Structure formats: C-alpha cells, structure tokens
C-alpha cells in the first residue's frame, strides 16, 4: 500500500460538517452550523470550494478533497459524529429531525424548511473522481510509465509505439487503469496467463491496461480476464491460431447473468457493430495477444487474408429466447453461472431458408450449407459453429426438437462416402486420402459442431462460423467460468 493510503486523514472528535459554497442546501444551513458551534463548541467544518465559507466559522480547507475522498463523502452537506477517532453516525442533506438526533441539539433552524436534499460532493464529480482514485486510493500501477512530450499527440503516440490494432485506442492513464481494476476483486499482480507467442506473463493489471486501450468499462474486466485465460491454454492454442495462414481468430461466446449485467447484445445485429461490451471485450483480448504476447500481423500472425473478426469477435447467447440449454451448460458449466467459450473461427456466412416449416427440411438446409465449409470434399479437419436465429429456432421449438436431436440429425445428413470425397472426384483435385476408400466419413469430428442461439427476429436467417484445424493438433473450443 502506498503512503497516500497509509496516511488517511483522521477526523477530530465531535461534530464534523462537510460543505461547499456552490450548494444551495449548504448555504441554507449556514446559520444552523453557527448554532451547532455555539451549542456544542465541538464542530469542525470542512469546505470543498471556498475557505471563507461558512461565514463566521473557521473552516478547514478541503479543496484538495483528500478528507472528502477518504471518508466517502458523496453528498453535501454531510454531518458526522466522531467519537474516539471513529465515525458513529452521519446524515446527508438537511433534515431537521436527523440533525437534531445526531447533534443532540434541539430547535435547530426554526425558520428553515424541515428538509432539503443536498448536492453531489466534489469528490464524486465525474471529472475529478478518477484523478482522486489515482492520488488517494493507495493503488499503484507497476507497469512502466511512458512520458509523452508536451506537444506529443496521445493518439498518434499510440500508433507510433505499435499499441493499436489499426484503430485509435483510449490512452491508458493511471487513473483509467485504476478505475478498470475496480471491476474485479482479483489482485492487480495476479498472473492470469502466459500469453503466446512470446509466453509473457500477463497480470490482471496488464490485462486491465489493454482493456482501457480497447475502450472497456470496469464491469467488462472479468469477462476479458476469463477470455485471456481460455485463449492461453494448450487446448485453445492461440499460438497456432495466430501462426496459421487461415483467416481465423478467437470468437468469444458469453453465457450467464453477466451478459445482461454489462449490457451485451444477443439480438439484432448480434455479430455486427453497435454494442460497446461486445466489441471492446473482443478487442481487449486481441490487444492483450498483440501487446503482451507479441502476436502481430506480418510477424507471428501469418494469415493470408485475415478477416474483420480478428479485430474483435465477441457476442452473447440469447439464452432467454432459446429452445435449448446454453452453450456453457452443454459444455459442463452449472446453469446460472457466467462463462465464456472461445472458438477459433473465421468470418460468418449467412444461411438463408425462408420456406422450411418443418425441422427435417431446415436441418437438411443446415447440413447442405455446412457440407461446403472450407471445401465440400474435406471432412473431419475443421470444426464449425452454427449461430441459429430466433425465427429458425422456432421451427425446432414447435417440433420439440432438443439440441441433441438437431445435432444428430445434421450429423446423419453429413455422412459422406469416400467416392464423393476422393481426389479428382467431380473434376476437383482436392479430396480425402486413399486410405479412406472403404469408409463413409462425417463432415465434423464428434463434438466438432457447436450450436448457439442468437440474433434478431427480422428474418429466417442463421450464420455459420467456420473453424480452424480441429482436434488436439489444432484448436479446440475452450470454456472458462467468469470470476468476479
């Protein structure tokens, strides 16, 4: 803990009032303060904006707001009673009954109205709060500080130093980082993961810095931390995801109560722009990989084309509207628990079926589209995620098809004889090796197709997100619970 936290200012015994001149209620109670001083002789007044206020009383200058911040003054006037250095009572605003009970002095302010609400303390002003946290909280940023020249532009400096993904970032000032760190109970120096490709240890603080760069709010930080944990496992293999020449990156699916708590989108335009939580959480993970792990395009990141999803690809599942259990529950997380699932995915492709009204017909549509994923003559090599829109999901809800039933029906339609997959078949050189000649192959390995319910009710559409190399030699979907 820093010296600023160790030297929390103590308050004198007796009554303590905190006021500011720029508050109508504070000026209203000015004569009451003089009454209290006369009656008790033990009143100390702290003033936030004008040392000459209140008139006739010797006020303690708190324009630095140190006392107000340390003692959590959120409203002025605040009246406190201090005994043996400890607060034993407080009241905010003006309420005659409360002030009389706290002070033990009756008949206060007989000409005043019985009560008036107070004003916001200067210590909680939005334009001051972050700086006060940085000065007085005792929080210390261990990361190296970068001093900018007086004429240096913050935005351009971030580009020049290579901290960005090509878009402007939010400068990670100490105050902003400390504010984001308030979003988690985890210690700033706790190591979250060793981030590939350079295997650099990433602390909670380092993740918070990149969350600031991405534009995250403090309440998003637990989701970002869980995503970093999942990405840096051998199972997910973010190093391989970076190094592949395919256009894939981490896709984050969020489940559980935190989706709504932080305002994530699971509906209209769910895979697009417009929602701060969706976009900045996905971006923060990518910036951690870039800025901490060293995964930069043209270096370890060798994608031939890449995709817009490599900037950010994060969305919430629509659990409330879904006919099925959430993805996280399917993957073993207890119901009602917040979790993230990472999937190594490319860009989306739309599945259009405006006419199917039976589950068999729609399942056949899904299978036909999935058959073409990456190449219609390749099997077992790639996983996929099918994001089913609400209007398509309704067809299965009405027919009472479970998620397991739908997966089984799609799988049955994706059993492909080797003759159709053989190199040269249908005039296409690509295909599966000769040693599969006697077999019928499934398009996906067992468990290689994930179903997620999300999207708006504006049409009969679903989306396919193709994956990277599946199985232990590639990247496997990875789920982690979100810790507060």
Domain residue ranges of the chain, discontinuous segments joined by +? 3-128, 157-481
Helix (H) or strand (E) holding 18, with range, is strand 14-19
Beta strands in 226-329 (DSSP E): 249-255, 314-316
The reply to whether omega before 206 is within 30° of 0 (cis) is: no
Beta bridge partners of 352: 461
Place of tokens 């997966």: 407
The CATH superfamily label for domain 3-128 reads: Glutaredoxin (3.40.30.10)
Residue 3 gets the label, from left (phi > 0), alpha (psi -120 to 50) or beta, of alpha
How high is the pLDDT of residue 3? 39
> Beta-carbon neighbour count of residue 388 at 10 Å?
27
6 three-state secondary structure = helix
Helix (H) or strand (E) holding 25, with range, is helix 24-28
How high is the pLDDT of residue 1? 32
In tens, the pLDDT along 53-89 reads: 999 898 999 999 999 999 999 999 999 999 999 999 9
- Cα first-last separation, the chain: 22
214 three-state secondary structure = helix
Flag whether the pTM goes above 0.75.
yes
Mean pLDDT, the chain, as a whole number?
Answer: 94
CA dihedral 328→330→332→333, nearest 10 degrees, is 30
**Half-sphere exposure (Cβ direction) of 107: Cα atoms closer than 13 Å:** 2
Distance in angstroms (rounded) separating the CA atoms of residues 284 and 277: 10
> Beta-carbon neighbour count of residue 450 at 10 Å?
23
Tally of residues, the chain: 484
CA-based R_g, the chain, Å: 30
359 three-state secondary structure = helix
How high is the pLDDT of residue 130? 81
Which positions of the chain have pLDDT values less than 70? Answer: 1-7, 138-139
How high is the pLDDT of residue 4? 39
DSSP letter (8 states) at residue 426: G
Closest CA to 217 of 188, 186, 184, 180: 180
Distance in angstroms (rounded) separating the CA atoms of residues 223 and 229: 10
In tens, the pLDDT along 320-353 reads: 999 999 999 999 999 999 999 999 999 999 999 9
How high is the pLDDT of residue 420? 95
Question: Buried b vs exposed e over 27-44: b needs ≥16 C-beta within 10 Å?
Answer: ebbbbbbbbbbebeeebb
Helix axes 204-214, 174-181, angle to 10 degrees: 110
Beta strands in 106-258 (DSSP E): 115-116, 119-120, 191-195, 200-203, 249-255
Residue 315 vs residues 252, 253, 453: alpha-carbon distances, Å: 6, 5, 11
Residue 115 vs residues 19, 20, 377, 399: alpha-carbon distances, Å: 16, 18, 79, 62
92 three-state secondary structure = strand
DSSP letter (8 states) at residue 234: T
Distance in angstroms (rounded) separating the CA atoms of residues 383 and 249: 13
How high is the pLDDT of residue 6? 41
Question: Is residue 285 within 8 Å of 252, Cβ to Cβ?
Answer: yes
The two counts, helices (H) then strands (E), for the chain are: 18, 20
Distance in angstroms (rounded) separating the CA atoms of residues 128 and 42: 31
Burial class (CB in 10 A: 0-12, 13-18, 19+), 213: buried
Distance in angstroms (rounded) separating the CA atoms of residues 314 and 208: 18
How high is the pLDDT of residue 139? 66
Closest CA to 230 of 192, 199, 198, 201: 192
Distance in angstroms (rounded) separating the CA atoms of residues 92 and 98: 9
Distance in angstroms (rounded) separating the CA atoms of residues 170 and 214: 7
Beta strands in 169-285 (DSSP E): 191-195, 200-203, 249-255
Distance in angstroms (rounded) separating the CA atoms of residues 424 and 417: 14
In tens, the pLDDT along 273-310 reads: 999 999 999 999 999 999 999 999 999 999 999 999 99
């Amino acid at each position: 803990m820093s010296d600023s936290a160790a030297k929390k200012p103590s308050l004198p015994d007796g009554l303590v009032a905190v006021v500011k001149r720029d508050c109508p209620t504070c000026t209203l109670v000015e004569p009451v303060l003089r009454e209290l001083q006369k009656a008790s002789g033990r009143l100390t007044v702290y003033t936030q904006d004008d040392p000459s206020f209140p008139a006739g009383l010797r006020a303690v200058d708190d324009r630095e707001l140190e006392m107000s911040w340390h003692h959590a003054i959120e409203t002025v006037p605040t009246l406190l009673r201090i005994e043996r250095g400890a607060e034993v009572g407080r009241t905010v605003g003006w309420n005659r009954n409360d002030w009389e009970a706290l002070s033990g002095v009756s008949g206060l302010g007989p000409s005043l109205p019985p009560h008036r609400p107070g004003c916001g303390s200067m210590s909680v002003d939005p334009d001051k709060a972050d700086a006060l946290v940085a000065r007085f909280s005792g929080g210390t940023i261990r990361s190296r500080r970068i001093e900018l020249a007086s004429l240096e532009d913050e935005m351009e400096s971030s580009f020049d130093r290579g901290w960005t993904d090509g878009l402007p970032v939010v400068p990670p000032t100490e105050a902003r980082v400390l504010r984001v760190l308030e979003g988690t109970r985890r210690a700033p120096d706790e190591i979250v993961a060793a981030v590939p490709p350079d295997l650099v240890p990433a602390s909670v603080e380092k993740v918070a810095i990149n969350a600031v760069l991405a534009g995250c709010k403090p309440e998003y930080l637990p989701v970002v931390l869980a995503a970093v944990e999942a990405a840096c496992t051998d199972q997910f293999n973010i190093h391989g995801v970076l190094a592949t020449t395919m256009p894939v990156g981490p896709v984050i699916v969020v489940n559980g109560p935190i989706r709504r708590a932080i305002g994530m989108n699971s509906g209209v335009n769910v895979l697009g722009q417009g929602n701060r939580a969706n976009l900045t959480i996905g971006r923060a993970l990518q910036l951690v990989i870039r800025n901490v792990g060293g995964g930069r395009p043209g270096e370890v990141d060798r994608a031939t084309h890449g995709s817009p999803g490599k900037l950010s690809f994060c969305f919430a599942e629509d659990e409330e509207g879904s006919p099925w259990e959430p993805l996280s529950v399917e993957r073993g997380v207890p119901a009602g628990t917040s979790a993230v699932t990472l999937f190594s995915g490319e860009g989306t492709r739309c599945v259009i079926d405006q006419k199917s009204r039976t589950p068999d017909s729609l399942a056949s549509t899904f299978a036909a589209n999935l058959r073409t994923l990456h190449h219609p003559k390749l099997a077992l090599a790639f996983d996929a995620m099918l994001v089913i829109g609400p209007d398509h999901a309704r067809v299965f809800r009405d027919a009472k098809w479970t998620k397991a039933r739908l997966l089984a029906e799609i799988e049955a339609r994706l059993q492909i004889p080797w003759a159709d997959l053989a190199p040269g078949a249908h005039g296409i050189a690509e295909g599966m090796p000769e040693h599969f000649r006697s077999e019928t192959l499934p398009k996906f390995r067992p468990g290689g197709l994930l179903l997620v319910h999300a999207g708006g009710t504006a049409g009969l559409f679903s989306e396919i997100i193709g994956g990277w190399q599946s199985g232990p030699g590639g990247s496997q979907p990875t789920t982690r619970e979100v810790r507060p």
